[in-house]
Amino acid sequence: MIAAPESSEYADFYARYIALVPPGDLSVTLQAQLDRGLPFLRGIGDEKSLIRYEPGKWSVREILGHLTDSERIFACRALRFARADSTPLPGFDQDPYVAAAGFDARPWNDLITEYEYVRRSSIVFFRSLRPEVALRSGIANKASVSVRALGYVIAGHELHHFKVIRERYL
């Protein structure tokens, strides 16, 4: 079981995401999000996935692409730290990633499938960690962060963006 991280295990800018994650085992939370998320995303449909709630804001497709890209990056950081790689890792700027990806030109169902596979990979990875490994940490984006905190960031980041989709797009 991977429990919530202590506040000393992550930088303040991650706190807003981690605070959204309910108590309990991280792997169970990630699986429950996938189980709820897939029907939610499929219910949005092709046309609505291109909606922007105001000019200059990301479309729903871009949000899902951003979530998938971010999960890959956070999971890669977690993998490296779990494997005792002490190399400081850079941050990333989300806006150029979204602009370069062309998510709006991709089929909505393909984006959903990609999200599903990335999430399934994260679930298996975090489920495989021994408790002492989940406590390992490293430097990413010039701040110390633990493996388990990165898992909680993944979960909280999704909760944040799905809430935005529900409240501003649908």
The domain spans of the chain are 7-169
The reported pLDDT for the residue numbered 9 is: 98
What's the average model confidence in pLDDT over 2-11? Answer: 97
pLDDT the model gives residue 76:
98
Q: 142: helix, coil or strand? A: coil
Residue in 113, 117, 109 with CA at minimum distance from that of residue 71 = 117
**148-152 average pLDDT score:** 98
Over residues 90-99, mean pLDDT: 97
In this prediction, residue 124 carries a pLDDT of 98
**Mean pLDDT estimate for the chain:** 97
pLDDT tens column, 67-94:
999 999 999 999 999 999 999 999 999 9
- Specify whether the CB–CB gap between 144 and 96 falls below 8 A: no
Sorting pLDDT into bands at 50, 70 and 90, what band is 157? Answer: very high
Q: What is the mean pLDDT of residues 105-119?
A: 98
pTM of the model: 0.97
The dotted CATH code for 7-169 is 1.20.120.450
The pLDDT-based confidence of 98 (bands split at 50, 70, 90) is very high
- Note every long-range contact of 109-113, with CB atoms under 8 Å and residues 24 or more positions apart, other chains counting: 109/42, 111/49, 111/61, 111/64, 111/65, 111/68, 112/38, 112/41, 112/42, 112/64
DSSP 89: B
Structure tokens at 146: 């633990």
